[in-house]
Amino acid sequence: MEIISSNDNAWFSSWFDTKYYHTLYKNRDESEAALFISNLYTFLNLSNEYVLDLACGKGRHSLTLNKLGLTVLGVDLSPQSITGASQYQNSTLNFQVHDMRERLEDKKFDVVFNLFTSFGYFENDADNYSVLRSIYDMLSVNGLVVIDFMNAKRVIDSLVKAEIKTEEGIDFHITRDFDGKFIKKNIDFEDDNTKFSFQEYVRGFTFEDFHKMLTETNFKIESVFGDFHLNPFNAKTSDRLIIIAKKL
């Protein structure tokens, strides 16, 4: 039996580009995502801005932003995700493959959205800072970045160590742990007489970590929320850590 494994520091470049990633997470709440974007749109008083959806996946947030009247560019490292998203393209909605650590030349955005815990994948802290610096360089004067991250403290405190999730006839065996730096998820399954093993690593960044990183890259935090309804953030009880910061 063939065995396919991707347990390394660049796990995101292979796992996110497999069909199995999208199978495992196929039941994400689209209505919840649309509500979140609508709430942000109202709170930020947006109208016809040019925005970037950084690490857009298959474009569910990009599509909602565009339907609200914004001109949107969605970018992601995964060619498969961008292929899936590109079916929605129109004159004011476009997608392309791009590494978030690098700036897009000759483009300026009013708002950069980095949503659904699409930050903190990298082993080297310099890479996380590169993401923030690229965002800074791509923003217009007084531009905003919106970072939607898990509430790491709550996730770590309530970590489900093991579970089996079945999607499309595939049993995904999932184990989780926190090593003091990364929240790690091991994903093992079998399909078509082949065994697969993948990992997800995400840094357990807290609000204090983001405050430090954003301050050091010349951002000022304007607002902090704890869920998609934009209720206040509580480190112990909130589902999310949503930060809105302005380019200085």
Mean pLDDT in runs of 10 for the chain (248 residues)? 53 78 77 91 97 95 96 95 95 97 96 96 94 98 97 96 95 96 94 91 96 98 98 97 98
**Look-up of token digits 């089996």:** 164
Boundaries of CATH 3.40.50.150 in the chain?
24-151+206-247
pLDDT in the model for residue 1: 45
One-letter-per-residue 3-state SS of 41-91: HHHCCCCCCEEEEECCCCCHHHHHHHHCCCEEEEEECCHHHHHHHHHHCEC
pTM: 0.92
The CATH architecture annotation of domain 24-151+206-247 reads: 3-Layer(aba) Sandwich (3.40)
